[in-house]
């Protein structure tokens, strides 16, 4: 029997990566996350005893345990196309803390997850230098940009994945899914929005989370919430509802009549094509971001839609409004698109939970990586056990 595989999760967020690795039998022995609500969500699902809710730079070396693998996604706002691309942003330096944990824990493998453009950053080049002739020279690096949709996640989300190994070269996992898999390829079709949110009530009954609290890290916080607790709606204005009603699946602000366009969009005839967009039932979603509950932030309208005609006299669309679902996706739907289990437990306010969902690593992508890494670690454990037995006999 293979010994348990011990794991450290850094910048752990609400636990998306741990969900995937735990699904392959890895056991977390330490998780570090500075955001209190996200750390509480992690603790609600995996236990509080091994979670540090605080600044990773303040964790002393002596608190870093030995582990088989260290995983994590250092904050990436400085690299993101949505950010200012400030290479001096202190958040871009936090990967150095990740490396400190690697050096002190001495794992067989480490995995870094980041935005797709990370591989083109100066920090990535410095990381490569450390593996070539620096403190990480025992590790062999493999990296690639992976699309979560290619690994069974109902979301098109591209991320840079870096695997460092000192137990032999570990390649990145091969895709298990494809948009249009060729016959005989063994690949399955991409999972779609329909696969993960169809059947949920189209009209949520409330705008608020249940009124309950729990205690984590000595603090009282909203939660825990799970399942349909998160199936909450907003209260858009009548004008917003009219705007939503004109947007077809895959469409966006350019589908609105001139009469419904805000001045800022009238004056900007190009760009920002995905805002006020509607998801498609039979494709994976776009990337779920932290403000998915705002239709002006991206393609987050519910995919159900039936076209209608414009009523000039009343400035509204004709037709049965019940045939279209003119709202943004709920927190629960976003969590399912992000590949969290349906019964996952959440802690925090509506905004805090939305941020946790949008910042997470889809568990299906994490599990594909874990599945790729696990045989190498298991083989190493077997070799070490055989060596120990030989020494005992001698």
pLDDT per position as a tens digit, 64-95: 999 999 999 887 554 444 444 454 555 556 77
> Which residues have a Cβ under 8 Å from the Cβ of 309 and sit 6 or more positions away?
317, 318, 319
- Average pLDDT of span 331-346: 98
For residues 342 and 96, the model is more confident at: 342
- Whether 14 is a known active-site residue: answer no
Q: Delimit the domains of the chain by residue range.
A: 5-194+361-393, 196-357
Torsional class of 272: left (φ above 0), alpha (ψ -120 to 50), beta (otherwise): left
CA angle 33, 37, 42 (to 5 degrees): 60
263 token code pair:
């001045």
CB 140 within 8 A of CB 164: yes
Q: How far apart are CA 344 and CA 337, in angstroms?
A: 13
pTM for the model: 0.90
When the pLDDT of each residue in the chain is averaged and rounded to a whole number, the result is 89
Say if 5-194+361-393 and 196-357 have the same CATH topology: no
CA distances from 175 to 132, 142, 285, 339 (A): 29, 16, 18, 17
Q: Which of 30, 76, 136, 360 is catalytic?
A: 76
pLDDT on residue 80: 46
Average pLDDT over residues 196-204: 95
Asked whether the predicted pLDDT for residue 318 surpasses 60, the reply is: no
pLDDT at 279: 97
CATH number for the domain whose boundaries are 196-357: 3.90.120.10
On the question of a cis peptide bond just before residue 224, with omega within 30 degrees of 0, the verdict is yes
CATH number for the domain formed by residue range(s) 5-194+361-393: 3.40.50.150
pLDDT at 25 over 50: yes
- Does 261 score more than 60 pLDDT? yes
pLDDT at 207 over 60: yes
Residue-level pLDDT at 90: 57
How far is it, in rounded angstroms, from Cα 156 to Cα 153? 8
Taking the CB of residue 321, how many other CB atoms lie within 10 A of it? 14
């Amino acid at each position: 029997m293979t010994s348990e595989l011990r794991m450290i999760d850094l910048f752990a967020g609400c636990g998306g990566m741990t969900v995937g690795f735990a699904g392959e039998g890895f056991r977390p022995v330490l998780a570090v996350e500075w955001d209190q609500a996200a750390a509480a969500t992690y603790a609600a699902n995996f236990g509080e005893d091994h979670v540090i809710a605080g600044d990773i730079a303040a964790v002393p070396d002596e608190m870093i345990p030995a582990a088989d693998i260290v995983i994590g996604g250092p904050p990436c706002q400085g690299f993101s196309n949505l950010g200012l691309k400030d290479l001096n942003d202190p958040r871009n330096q936090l990967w150095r803390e990740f490396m400190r944990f690697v050096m002190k824990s001495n794992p067989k493998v480490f995995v870094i997850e980041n935005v797709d453009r990370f591989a083109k950053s100066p920090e990535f080049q410095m990381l490569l230098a450390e593996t070539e002739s620096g403190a990480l020279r025992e590790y062999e690096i493999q990296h690639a940009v992976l699309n979560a949709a290619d690994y069974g996640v109902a979301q098109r989300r591209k991320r840079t994945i870096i695997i460092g190994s000192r137990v032999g070269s570990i390649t990145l996992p091969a895709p298990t899914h494809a948009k249009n898999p060729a016959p005989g390829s063994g690949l399955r079709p991409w999972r779609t929005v329909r696969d993960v949110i169809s059947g949920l009530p189209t009209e949520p009954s409330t705008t608020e989370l249940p009124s309950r609290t729990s205690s984590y890290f000595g603090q009282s916080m909203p939660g825990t919430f799970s399942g349909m607790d998160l199936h909450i709606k907003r209260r858009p204005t009548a004008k917003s509802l009219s705007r939503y009603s004109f947007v077809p699946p895959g469409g966006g602000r350019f589908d609105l009549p001139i009469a419904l366009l805000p001045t800022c969009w009238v004056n900007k005839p190009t760009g920002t094509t995905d805002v006020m967009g509607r998801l498609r039932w039979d494709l994976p979603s776009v990337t779920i971001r932290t403000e998915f509950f705002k239709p002006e932030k991206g393609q987050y309208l519910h995919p159900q839609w039936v076209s209608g005609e414009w009523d000039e006299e009343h400035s509204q669309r004709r037709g049965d409004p019940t045939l279209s679902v003119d709202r943004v996706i709920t927190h629960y739907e976003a969590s399912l698109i992000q590949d969290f289990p349906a019964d996952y437990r959440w802690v925090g306010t509506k905004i805090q939970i939305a941020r946790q969902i949008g910042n997470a690593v889809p568990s299906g992508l994490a599990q594909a990586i874990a599945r790729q890494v696990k045989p190498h670690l298991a083989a190493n454990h077997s070799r070490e056990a055989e060596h120990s037995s030989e020494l005992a006999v001698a």
